[in-house]
Structure 1
């Protein structure tokens, strides 16, 4: 009886101690959790401060929700594209070019929403016979000062001169004209050139052929003015890098359709005859920017030789098969948007809009003059999934860029090639360099 009472008393005495121990344990856990929470808050605040500091060092003006929204309106004047192609696969889509601009606007808005910026594309699609100056004027009257231009060289020049005569700053982006004259004797200060030049394309191809030790060329050029422009770029490039054109012939365009029911039968007979009798050569070079004959050459030449230039191994700014350096994700996003592959015209428009987005992010402005000053300055570069950051040549406002060499199925190589050196940038081995330029920006 006494033992039971003692035991009961002992258990009762221990109960308060157990409760106190539990309270102490819970208090310790609470204090530990509170310390952890405070540490996490401090870490998050420190990380945010470091991020903002990094943005500040990078030149980005961070805009908070309380700041004024900056709306960046981008016009796009695009002319009709020829549907006369040898292959039905090359017939341009209705959204050719503009699809790339729209994707870039989406990309810009992804970042812009955190910086208080929005980007919008206003598309002006011209029909045959429409006046591009009226289209430009309509955009300018709406206050659009950033305009992508997908027009032939003569029309681009007319728009550039009209823009220069306006009383407000307007900046144009050339997304399709390859003419070297636009960057040389006919250069304009209000035009940024995103499309490469014929000389850049020719040099990219020539470097690879010289690297392969295929220096002897048999060249066939078309009879249209743009064919001669590419042919002249190839002649200059051959001389520049030590190749030799052993013979040159002209393919006369006599009109008619590019495709017919008997086309394969006729070309199988005609092309061997047209390519017969040339001196010994390594590569057949085609200069056919009008798409009249070049794609008939591969596998049909009299001598079994590779074809390059406007068919076969083609130099380009972009190709739907390009997937290196993260390009696969860009190709995938574009296919999701447009239900087709991204071509050079799409990509050049994409790069132009991304350049605007990058400059707007960095300067916190939508003013054309402010953006131009930043783009042509030493701090600007654009990542375009081609292995190198791309910058503008300050002397003619041409975008430096690698040139892809593709065969229609995959990328064979990328220029500049190994061993072609330059004191400033290896990208300046492609096209006319500063000592050669005739450009005087005005």
Structure 2
């Protein structure tokens, strides 16, 4: 990925312990400063150095200035790890100089095309301008081992002197031994990356450089490098902002290459535009989600589904907005960590002027987004964090479409109590959070007439559960409630699958475990399908009350079921648009007053009008008890995914014509005693 030798792993060994702490320049000026964090190589002149020298450092600063951002750096190795371990996991948000089409990133438009160059001594009795020159066959030639120029020379039948002395394994600059050989006349000519050659030509005036031609050598080997800026896959909003900034500062950026004496092929100024540039009033909603995070079976699936739900909402509801003179714009941002989520929110608010954010999947993300929304007067819709602590923070600008922990537990207790399951066995992590979850579960069970039959506290790092079934059998419970984290629930189900005890097993419905992807993992790992239950915020097989139509709209576009997080994101966009139409304003205080109004309700395809509790902004809503289908054929086709689980029931069961609010308010913590009650 560097200009000296992209993808050459040998040269990266010195950076195995690269610093993670970002270094920053002074804060940007503007109404709302935001941080543009770049992963960069600390020792890759002339592109990048830890002293903030190099053309990519300069260009990054130009872009940051254009976008009103604070530029910061994380110094990291320029091999595959910079994407795998740094960009994808949220340590930084962009990488300069990524080759066009590089796997694992979303790329901007190219901002340079730099040819490989011939390098030879000015006093040489020849001039080389093409790989087809006959004189080349009589010369001693060298280039980077196993590079495209190396392959091109071999394809042309030319011998190549390779310089790989031991010091190459302990230094960054793999061009150095080639340059030394050229200066000492051990070789006659070298082919190097353009920026590296330009840097050495400044140090050694006796060297001459010329672009390699032809640009393409059979079979389709390019003798040039195209550089783009790489962002996380799914980080569409940031990619688009960078494209606009590149176009607006194109002349300044090309001037940087001229200043460094780098021979480059002029590229046409990109013709890019911002999202939704129309005569309509922009209505911009930022969607901050962990896509991807490196855990595709869990959070990635929920984040991808949520982003899909928001984008489908833009498609289906955009016409309604346009008829009212508004341009509904969904701006996706990918944030694998809480820190990355905060940077994404800052950027969306500063550059796109979003009036609302949707997100909350991923550890700690709902907390930082809620705090950001509160500090900057932006609405935030939490679609992924059930924690009671977040709801008890009483953030005025935050509304929760994700059900709360207490709602989930009360729903489970009510439904199974109605089925005659009174004696509960609890399995929970031995952490502060796990113990709090256990205590609230006991409260829920007692609330609906049940009792504790037994419990086991599991050490946080434990992954084996073979001794649990015998403990359960001796306790003779009616039901086993697993409060383990998402990463351990399927381990537990797999290890107890062949054990004979009659009690059904219910797992706490962490949002990331409600996806079809997670259910498929469970189906592959357990033979106890008939006794495996979980709650769902939504179910992709629902048909009544318009649910079938919205499920079909999403699945027909994506070929995947509408997971709960997709429904939540869609519902958030629908609520925002309907609230703006009802109030005639996108001003936050008016929207909050509307959402808190007891008379306000929304049709979100669950059969009853849904509304927010004014004291903690929790959406009142029924939940669905779902069960792994014992007869399902495991597979990835849409029909197989839909058949993987079945609806066992809905809680509460609301009679026709009844007021749903009192029944829905039985689920979760009441207004009495809430610190948020106004």
TM norm. shorter chain > 0.5: yes
Does the alignment pair 1:307 with 2:505? yes
SS in 2 for 1:412: strand
Q: CA deviation at 1:417?
A: 4.1
Where do residues 26-425 of structure 1 align in structure 2 (5 Å cutoff)?
69-79=280-290, 92=301, 95-128=304-337, 130-142=339-351, 143-152=353-362, 154-166=364-376, 169-184=377-392, 186-223=393-430, 227-254=434-461, 270=466, 273=469, 275-292=471-488, 293-296=491-494, 299-310=497-508, 312-408=532-628, 409-417=645-653, 424-425=661-662
Where do 4+ consecutive residues of structure 1 move more than 6 Å?
A: none
RMSD: 2.9
CA contact (8 A) 1:247 1:278 kept: no
Question: Relative to structure 2, which stretch is displaced further, 129-138 or 241-250?
Answer: 129-138
After superposition, what is the alpha-carbon deviation per residue over 1:330-357, rounded to whole angstroms, capped at 9, x for unaligned? 1111112222111111111111111101
The change in CA–CA distance for 1:250 and 1:301 in structure 2 (over 3 A counts) is farther
The change in CA–CA distance for 1:119 and 1:423 in structure 2 (over 3 A counts) is closer
CA distance in 1, matches of 2:585, 2:562: 30
CA contact (8 A) 1:71 1:118 kept: yes
Question: Relative to structure 2, which stretch is displaced further, 395-404 or 337-346?
Answer: 337-346
After superposition, what is the alpha-carbon deviation per residue over 1:379-424, rounded to whole angstroms, capped at 9, x for unaligned? 32111111111101001111111011101411111001469x9995
CA contact (8 A) 2:293 2:299 kept: no
Q: CA deviation at 1:371?
A: 1.8
The change in CA–CA distance for 1:141 and 1:272 in structure 2 (over 3 A counts) is closer
SS in 2 for 1:121: strand
Query: Could you tell me the TM-score, scaled by structure 1's length?
Result: 0.73
CA contact (8 A) 1:70 1:365 kept: no
Q: CA deviation at 1:233?
A: 3.1
Q: CA deviation at 1:201?
A: 0.8
Question: More helix by proportion, 1 or 2?
Answer: 1
After superposition, what is the alpha-carbon deviation per residue over 1:291-330, rounded to whole angstroms, capped at 9, x for unaligned? 3134326643442221123382211211223333221111
The change in CA–CA distance for 1:73 and 1:82 in structure 2 (over 3 A counts) is closer
Q: CA deviation at 1:126?
A: 1.6
The change in CA–CA distance for 1:81 and 1:225 in structure 2 (over 3 A counts) is farther
Q: CA deviation at 1:243?
A: 0.9
After superposition, what is the alpha-carbon deviation per residue over 1:180-223, rounded to whole angstroms, capped at 9, x for unaligned? 11112x22111111110011111111111111111111121234
SS in 2 for 1:136: helix
SS in 2 for 1:390: coil
CA distance in 1, matches of 2:382, 2:390: 9
CA contact (8 A) 2:423 2:451 kept: yes
The change in CA–CA distance for 1:319 and 1:306 in structure 2 (over 3 A counts) is same
The change in CA–CA distance for 1:412 and 1:398 in structure 2 (over 3 A counts) is same
CA contact (8 A) 1:298 1:306 kept: no
Where do residues 18-33 of structure 1 align in structure 2 (5 Å cutoff)?
none
The change in CA–CA distance for 1:349 and 1:416 in structure 2 (over 3 A counts) is same
Query: Aligned pairs, how many?
Result: 357
CA contact (8 A) 1:406 1:412 kept: yes
Q: CA deviation at 1:175?
A: 0.9
The change in CA–CA distance for 1:355 and 1:406 in structure 2 (over 3 A counts) is same
The runs of 5 or more residues in structure 1 that have no matched partner are 1-67, 257-265
CA contact (8 A) 2:536 2:624 kept: yes
Structure-1 residue corresponding to 2:83: none
CA distance in 2, matches of 1:237, 1:135: 37
Q: CA deviation at 1:127?
A: 3.5
The runs of 5 or more residues in structure 2 that have no matched partner are 1-278, 510-531, 629-644
The change in CA–CA distance for 1:281 and 1:418 in structure 2 (over 3 A counts) is farther
